[in-house]
Structure 1
Amino acid sequence: MSDKQELLQPIKIGAVQLKNRVIMAPLTRCRATNEHQAPDQKHIDYYTQRAGAGLIISEGSEVSEKARGYPFVAGIFNEAQVEGWKKVTESVHNAGGKIFCQLWHVGRTSLPDYHDGQLPWAPSAVDPETELRNAKGEKKQTVAPHAMSKEEIKQTVAEFGHAAANAKKAGFDGVEIHSSNGYLIHQFFNNKSNVRTDEYGGTNENRARFFFEVLEAVKESWPENHIGCRLNPSLHGVFGIEGTPDTIPFFDYLVSRLNDHDLAYVHMSEPFTDVSDIDFLESDIAKHFRPIYKGNLMINNEFDRESGNKVIANGNADLVAFGKLFISNPDLPHRFELKAETADWNQDTFYSQGREGYTDYPTLEEEKAN
């Protein structure tokens, strides 16, 4: 039997050649503490340390002020942010890495605190009934959001397009449309969060309409083969998203339609919660969607070296994204190559504001030197 590790084999995604299939997942880290919410030297160091990834997907970058729902997130909607990201991408490229920008709008998963007291925007006025922190760290309950008008939907689509153009200016290798995890685009997908009766609600085609309009706006700046998207089909009980008997058929429809587009990849998450006792949701996302999607399929959530190699070897995915393991192991592909132990992460510093738990995790060589 060959000892070849599938994770360490090169692959071309769309127009972008990757040196391996160990992908750094998008990770919100809340380190942009300056007045412009722009990346700074901390971000440059953090991403450059992890340039051994086949591809880095940036933390979710807000496409506009309206997209906000978390403190100290590095956005992609103003000039200072573009300049900050430009320094990040240049440094990552100099270190031999590739990096995509994840375009993010949280929709109703926000608080009025982030919008000068105004309601967050969403497809429908349905409260996700969850608890979030404001910029002062105070826990607050969400509220019923403002149901977007058709004009506001158009405005938001344009904001995604503007953010994609900014990502191009900032020197990214491509973009990922964040259409997952209970945020705005996912809220359009789900028939509990989207109860509209116009052309953006009801049927599969209508609930997918906003996503495809965003895709068209992004394509004004990027060819399709530099664009990825992220989906979480079996998300259940997170940010007010609940699966229904219509959920998997909707994602079957959506993913089938994506075959008509020459995307770099589709990035899917295995379930965040145990859905094995819910007969209308899928417990094995990669296995279910691999026969449906003909392009590059990226999978994530709770994978390690062994399970990551296995899912590719079994033909159920082409790439594997790692989140927490990349936080505490900046040299993760190198550790995989040597089959070395991986370091544990400190969850207490996931969303803190300094360098601790961000840029101070040592590489394997640095560990040995100490």
Structure 2
Amino acid sequence: MASSSLWQPLTLGGLELPHRLALAPMTRNRANPDGTPGELAAEYYRQRASLGLLITEGTQPSEDGQGYVNTPGIYTPEHVDGWRRVGDAVHAGGGHLFVQLMHVGRISHPDNTPHHRQAVAPSAIAPGEEIFTPTGKQPIPAPRELSVSEIQQVIGEFRHAAASAIAAGADGVEIHAANGYLLHQFLSPNANHRTDSYGGSVEHRARFVIEVARAVADEIGADRTGIRVSPAFPLGGLDEGDTEAVRAQYRYLVGELAPLKLVYLHVHHLGDDELLRSFRDVWPTAVLVVRYGRERDGVAADIDAGLADIAPLGRFALANPDVVERLQQDAPFNEVDPATLYTGGATGYTDYPVLAHV
């Protein structure tokens, strides 16, 4: 039996959660070519509804926001209809759905997007990495620097996407400001060489993230708006500097976001517990913490330490639709099949066995 702290109910905005677990956002590359969630998506999320709070895979707010093949969008009427089917299935299972809004910025390739245009970013700097495309791995080309007026357009795209998610019946959205994507790129000095009010200082690099958060909260309500950060995560070719530089950037950012009273702060955590504690001290609502490599007996560690309110699950939930029951019963877990993470179809998506069929 996992730590009793996991089984305490929690009020999150207007939602009543039955416990402290959640589904972490995980890209699965199974949307239709137009970005509409595929026919299996409703089943995939319905199977995991017992997790209570389900944060979806990264979902692009615009054509420019897409980086990978077959990722979902939330900016057309067809997308809204597709996500409505997902939300209805999750709600029927007793869960709640937050759609993660993910603009990839420079982590893209023209072969992967519907318009085949050059990617956009804070500065015209390639990440120095490769990306999967329909013809195999290719180097990621240099992006085009966004103008100030285009930055305002992107903020509007986030606003529209958030409204579209709520129109689809979602309970809220998570702004993805982490893991090497566009908002994270603005925060990182090696990806953001701007000399205007969106680059240079700690305050200027944080400005875009703060403006996106304000716009989304204004559109759908702070009680329906979460945000994810990943301090010092070196994904997508980012380098945010030494420990003190990272702490300065994120203490400022979180301090400026805190007065917005967003419904939660989701931290993809690398291990700087002093920084995490500083977030906890100023953040007025729930804190979610996920760590790479966390084992079963450590799921509740951050909650027990007072560093988090909710523990999102990634690979455990991916391979175990009934992960809540398995934790409650101390039952063994299925193992993730890495070969089927992004291959499409039901295999490795909706066919992991539950306890009754083991």
**Which residue of structure 2 aligns with residue 114 of structure 1?**
112
Q: Is 1:186 aligned with 2:184? A: yes
| 2:338 is the alignment partner of 1:344 | no
**Does residue 218 of structure 2 align to residue 216 of structure 1?**
no
Identity %: 38
1:356 aligns to what? 347
Question: Residue 124 of structure 1 aligns with which residue?
Answer: 123
Aligned position for 1:310: 301
Counterpart for residue 262 of structure 1: 261
Aligned positions of 1:2-41 closer than 5 A: 5-32=4-31, 34-41=32-39
Which moves more between the two structures, 343-352 or 309-318? 309-318
Any stretches of 5+ residues in structure 1 without a counterpart? 276-281
Shift of 1:195: 0.8
Superimposed CA distance per residue, residues 124-159 of structure 1 (whole angstroms, 9 cap, x where no aligned partner): 01110001011x151000122100001111111111
Query: What is the distance in 2 between the residues matched to 1:291 and 1:103?
Result: 26
Is the Cα–Cα contact under 8 Å of residues 231 and 267 in structure 1 kept in the other structure? yes
Contact 2:102 2:176 in 1 (8 A): yes
Q: Which amino acid aligns with 1:358?
A: Y
Q: What are the within-5 Å matches in structure 2 for residues 229-244 of structure 1?
A: 229-236=227-234, 238-244=235-241
Name the SS for the 1:110 alignment partner. coil
User: What is the letter of the counterpart of residue 362 of structure 1?
Assistant: P
The one-letter code of the counterpart of 2:258 is: N
Over 3 Å counting, the alpha-carbon distance change for 1:355 and 1:298 in structure 2 is same
Cross-structure match for 1:198: 196
SS of 1:167 mapped into structure 2: helix
1:48–1:92 contact (8 Å) kept in structure 2: yes
Matched AA of 1:338: Q
CA distance in 2, matches of 1:89, 1:284: 37
Alpha carbons 1:252, 1:292 under 8 Å: kept: no
Deviation at 1:284, TM superposition (A): 6.8
Counterpart Cα distance in 2 of 1:169 and 1:200: 31
Structure 2 match to 1:82:
80
Residue of structure 1 equivalent to 2:311: 320
**Aligned equivalent of 1:159:** 157
Instruction: Name the amino acid aligned to 2:219.
Output: S
More helix by share: 2
Contact preservation (8 Å) 2:2, 2:330: no
Tell me, yes or no, if the aligned pair for 1:110 and 1:142 is still in contact at 8 Å. yes
**Structure 2 partner of 1:333:** 324
| Residues 234 and 243, structure 1, Cα contact 8 Å, conserved in 2 | yes
Q: Does 1:143 align with 2:133?
A: no
Structure 1 residue 339: deviation in Å?
1.6
For the Cα contact (< 8 Å) 1:46–1:358, is it kept in 2?
yes
Change (3 A) 1:213 1:3: closer
**Contact 1:15 1:264 (8 Å CA) reproduced:** no
- Would the aligned equivalents of 1:232 and 1:269 in 2 still touch at CA under 8 Å? yes
For residues 161 and 114 of structure 1, do their structure 2 counterparts lie closer, same or farther at Cα, with a shift above 3 Å needed?
same
Deviation at residue 306 of structure 1 after TM alignment: 2.1
2:327 & 2:112 partners in 1: Cα distance? 40
Change (3 A) 1:344 1:185: same
Counterparts of 1:156 and 1:324, CA distance in 2: 31
CA distance in 2, matches of 1:366, 1:137: 38
Q: Report what 1:279 is aligned to.
A: none
Letter in 2 for 1:291: D
- Whole-angstrom distance in 1 between the partners of 2:146 and 2:83: 30
Give distance in 1, aligned partners of 2:82 and 2:159.
Answer: 19
Runs of 4+ off more than 6 Å: none
Q: How far does residue 16 in structure 1 lie from its aligned partner after superposition?
A: 1.9
Alignment partner of 1:209: what SS? Answer: helix
Q: Deviations along 1:1-51, whole A, 9 cap, x unmatched?
A: x9852112111122222111111000100011x342211320011000000
Note the C-alpha offset of 1:203.
Answer: 1.6
Are the equivalent residues in 2 in contact too, given 1:234–1:283 (CA < 8 A)? no
SS at match of 1:23: strand
Structure 2: runs of 5 or more not aligned: none
How many residues get paired? 354
2:58 to 54, 57, 60: 60
Q: Distance in 2 between matches of 1:313 and 1:341?
A: 23
What TM-score, normalized to structure 2?
A: 0.95
Q: CA deviation at 1:288?
A: 5.3
2:210 touches 2:253 (CA, 8 Å); kept in 1?
Answer: no
- Following superposition, the deviation at residue 295 of structure 1 comes to 2.5
Instruction: Choose from 92, 95, 110 the match for 1:94.
Output: 92
